[in-house]
Amino acid sequence: MPVIESLFVLSPTGKVIIEKHWHNLISRKIVDYFNEQVAKILAASEDVTRQDVPPILSSPRYQLLNVYRDNLTYLCPVSKEVDPMMVFEFIHRIPDLMQEYFGQVSETVIKENFVTVYQLLEEMMDDGFPLMTEPNALKEIVPPPTILNKVINTMSAGTNSRTRKMPNGMSNLPWRKAGVKYSSNEIFFDIVDEIDAIVDSTGKVVSCEAHGSIQANSRLSGMPDLTLKFVNPRLVDDCSFHQSVRFHKWETEKVLSFVPPDGQFQLMSYRVNLPSMQTLPIQVKPSIHIGPNGGKLEISINLRQTDGKPVEGCVLTIPMHKSTMNLMATLNQGQYMFDPVTKSLRWDVGKIMPRERAPVLSATFSYGKGVTQEQVANAGYTLTVEFLINMYSLSGLKVDALQLFNEAYKPYKGVRSVTKAGRYHIRL
């Protein structure tokens, strides 16, 4: 039996942009049912967003596996028992491939490159079973769009036949094509750590965990065989790897041995075992006081453990009570905006330098009639923080050496560490 029968890609409004059926045709009524269930979930609470919709919803006949990325929904109705993680991994490969082909993913991009997207979906699956998902292999069969390709696709759109280009430069490795040549051989690694944390109103860390990935960009000639060694590989756990990585070498020696794909790819992902007393990079001190007709909000931000690196792109978002009428604020850094529709305050702090004055925001607001002071005070305010710290690794994972085999040249190696906020919440 097929693993995946159909795929529907839905617009932000829930309309079908493109659909592909690999086995039996599934009616679009299932999309209507899915949209109804999503609408019920969103209507249940004002705090629920589209990202909070469960990845699996049930219908009388199907399990609806869905992924929400780039304001688009990828919906796979499944009628038989399957491994859901395999389905989700396949779904995520689709926007990853579109990003590789088109540079961005959106409803407009899919419509403008409809033929190419449909061809990719056709080649990625064989009667409901994932077949080919590596960009280098697919580009040999489905060429990336050019002006000439778009003209040809438009001219042949009315016919059911298309000339399938068979790969002529493939190697024995499906993720890497043969005959790759560069005048300058180089490979870059980005170690990206994301922090998920919940901090209560007293500043105590309720939960804190970190997960990360190593993103690579390979521009190496020939068929290079690489070994990447770390200074402290045992800091990470629950690792998953690109299919090019020899898992046995990691299990026995804690090194990454692989023949890289050409271009950008994710080499591995991992979870970080943080100590219970781990110091968070930044400390946000919020306080809110509610009076009979209004309230006062104060927020300050202090840098803590950043190894002297500045915090960039710092943004704080605070959903206010739904009865909030207006809000006025003063601050010593950045700019703020209060949205009267969503009742949310956004403070774009920007770049925070170490050993400089801490950014502070003071705001006063009023709330409308019909609600009591107690209701506004007990609304349960949660502040969301976004930030980025370049050249700083929360996990402490560091690259020790890169060895090259099977080729005579010496490649240039670049390594960069980045720590950023994931789900980083402060309770007021």
Residues 267 and 217: their CA atoms lie apart, in Å, by 9
230-256 pLDDT, tens per residue? 998 888 888 999 989 999 999 999 999
Tell me: the pLDDT tens digits for 88-128? 999 999 999 999 899 899 999 999 999 999 999 999 988 88
- Report, as an integer, the average pLDDT of 40-64: 88
The better pLDDT of the pair 221, 276 is held by 221
Residue type, 248: H
Domain boundaries, the chain: 6-155, 186-277+392-427, 282-390
Tokens coding 18: 């493109």
* CA separation for the pair 261, 258 (Å, rounded): 9
Looking at domain 186-277+392-427, its CATH class is mainly beta
The pair of three-digit structure tokens given for residue 427, joined into one six-digit string: 């309770």
Sign of the C-alpha dihedral, residues 147, 149, 150, 151?
positive
Distance CA 273, CA 208 (A): 10
Cα–Cα distance, 219 to 138 (Å, whole number): 18
Q: What was the pLDDT predicted at 171?
A: 58
Band of pLDDT at residue 170, cut at 50, 70 and 90? low
Q: What is the pLDDT of residues 185-210, one digit of tens each?
A: 999 999 999 999 888 888 888 888 88
Q: Is the pLDDT of residue 279 over 60?
A: yes
- N- to C-terminal Cα separation, the chain: 51
Q: What is the mean pLDDT of residues 395-410?
A: 92
DSSP state of 51: G
Please tell me the distance from the alpha carbon of residue 198 to that of residue 211, in angstroms, as a whole number.
15
The CATH class given to the 282-390 domain equals mainly beta
| Higher-confidence position of 67 and 395 | 67
Provide the pLDDT confidence category of residue 159 given band limits of 50, 70 and 90.
Answer: very low
| pLDDT: which is higher, 424 or 127 | 424
Domains 186-277+392-427 and 282-390 are alike in CATH topology: yes
Each residue's pLDDT tens digit, 283-321: 899 988 888 888 899 999 999 888 889 999 999 999 888
What's the fold here for domain 6-155?
Beta-Lactamase (3.30.450)
If pLDDT is split at 50, 70 and 90, which confidence band does 80 have? confident
Q: How many CB atoms lie within 10 A of CB 242?
A: 18
The DSSP code sequence of 39-50 is: HHHHHH-TT--G
In angstroms, rounded to a whole number, what is the distance separating the alpha carbons of residues 47 and 425?
A: 14
Average confidence score pLDDT of the chain: 88
407 class by beta-carbon count within 10 Å (0-12 exposed, 13-18 middle, 19+ buried): middle
Q: Which residue bears the tokens 């829930």? A: 14
